[in-house]
């Protein structure tokens, strides 16, 4: 294997941030530059939400949700170009970013039992990787040597998301602000994380900002 260009190659890099701050896109770009997978922790919360919705469960009911997840295990496949989430042979990935999942996932993510379920899967993954989410640098991988936290105004984030979805910006902005509030508990930046306001930067600019700190 060629000599690593970045000191982070053999470690964990955490990229946390608020909803639609660019975590997945930036993590994918950083991971591809490093030649390592990136891990999208939010997808596991989204998968639990989707399966709970499909089973018509009360998303506040941890026991039924955990029974469902135990009976039909979910697997996160971290790849440098993007994550896939499987339940048996079923690829759930393309159904995880719907508005109905968006509107239910904060409820599921607030359940301690579901957080333990997610954290156990993340900590079992073989290093190195880039881990993105809300609490990678605070709770899941507190000893990671390289931590980043992405922010941007709700309006800027909504404008970016509107390019992906046929919804108007004010509606998306309101949804993002609601999710920000619901996710506040687990979304604070780690004290040793570099906070990056992505508002003035394009996507590559954010990726480069991070890579320059990984040499
Ligand atoms: N700095 C940037 N400049 C312009 N567009 C960006 C920037 N960062 C991300 N984007 C775009 O904003 C949208 C949201 O990014 P992304 O899905 O990576 O955010 P996220 O934080 O992972 O979202 P979620 O919290 O919903 O998982 C995507 O279309 C992405 O390409
Ligand atoms: N480590 C994490 C990752 C995500 N969540 C919550 C926050 C969101 O409401 C939801 C989906 O995350 P996203 O795909 O938008 O990054 O899951 C969390 O609590 N902790």
CA 111–ligand 2 middle distance (angstroms)? 12
Cβ contacts of 75 within 8 Å, gap of 6 or more: 85, 86, 87
CATH number, residue 37: 3.40.50.300
* pLDDT (mean) for 157-162: 95
pLDDT bucket at 9, cuts 50 / 70 / 90 = low
Cα angle, residue 119 at apex, residues 134 and 10 outer, rounded to 5°: 80
In the prediction, which pLDDT does 210 show? 97
Q: How many domains does the chain have?
A: 1
In the prediction, which pLDDT does 131 show? 96
* pLDDT (mean) for 34-59: 96
Q: Is 187 in the pocket of ligand 1 (CB under 6 A)?
A: no
3-state SS, residue 140: helix
Range of the domain at 166: 2-213
CA 57–ligand 2 middle distance (angstroms)? 20
pLDDT bucket at 2, cuts 50 / 70 / 90 = low
pLDDT tens string 165-196: 878 999 999 989 988 998 888 889 999 999 99
In the prediction, which pLDDT does 164 show? 87
CA 67–ligand 2 middle distance (angstroms)? 21
- Ligand closest to the CA atom of residue 179: 2
Q: Atom 23 in ligand 1: which residue has the minimum CA distance?
A: 20
In the prediction, which pLDDT does 152 show? 97
Confidence check: pLDDT of 7 > 70: no
Cβ contacts of 98 within 8 Å, gap of 6 or more: 50
Share of the chain above pLDDT 70, in %: 94
In the prediction, which pLDDT does 5 show? 56
Quote the ipTM score.
Answer: 0.96
Q: Atom 25 in ligand 1: which residue has the minimum CA distance?
A: 19
Cα separation, 154 vs 46, whole angstroms: 21
Confidence check: pLDDT of 8 > 70: no
3-state SS, residue 20: coil
Q: What is the mean pLDDT of the chain?
A: 92
Q: What is the pTM of this model?
A: 0.92
């Amino acid at each position: 294997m060629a000599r690593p260009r970045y000191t982070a190659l053999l470690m964990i890099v955490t990229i946390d941030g608020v909803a639609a701050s660019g975590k997945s896109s930036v993590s994918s770009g950083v991971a591809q530059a490093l030649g390592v997978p990136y891990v999208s922790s939010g997808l596991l919360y989204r998968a639990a939400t989707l399966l709970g919705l499909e089973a018509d469960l009360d998303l506040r009911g941890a026991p039924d949700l955990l029974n469902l997840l135990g009976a039909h295990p979910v697997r996160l496949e971290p790849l440098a170009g993007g994550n896939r989430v499987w339940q048996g042979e079923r690829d759930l990935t393309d159904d995880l970013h719907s508005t109905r999942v968006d509107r239910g996932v904060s409820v599921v993510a607030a359940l301690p039992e579901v957080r333990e379920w997610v954290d156990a899967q993340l900590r079992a993954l073989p290093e190195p990787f880039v881990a993105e989410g809300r609490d990678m640098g605070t709770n899941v991988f507190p000893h990671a040597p390289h931590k980043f936290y992405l922010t941007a105004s709700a309006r800027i984030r909504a404008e970016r998301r509107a390019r992906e979805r046929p919804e108007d910006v004010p509606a998306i902005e309101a949804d993002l602000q609601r999710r920000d509030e619901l996710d506040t508990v687990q979304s604070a930046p780690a004290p040793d994380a570099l906070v990056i306001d992505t508002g003035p930067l394009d996507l590559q600019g954010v990726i480069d900002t991070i890579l320059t700190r990984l040499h």
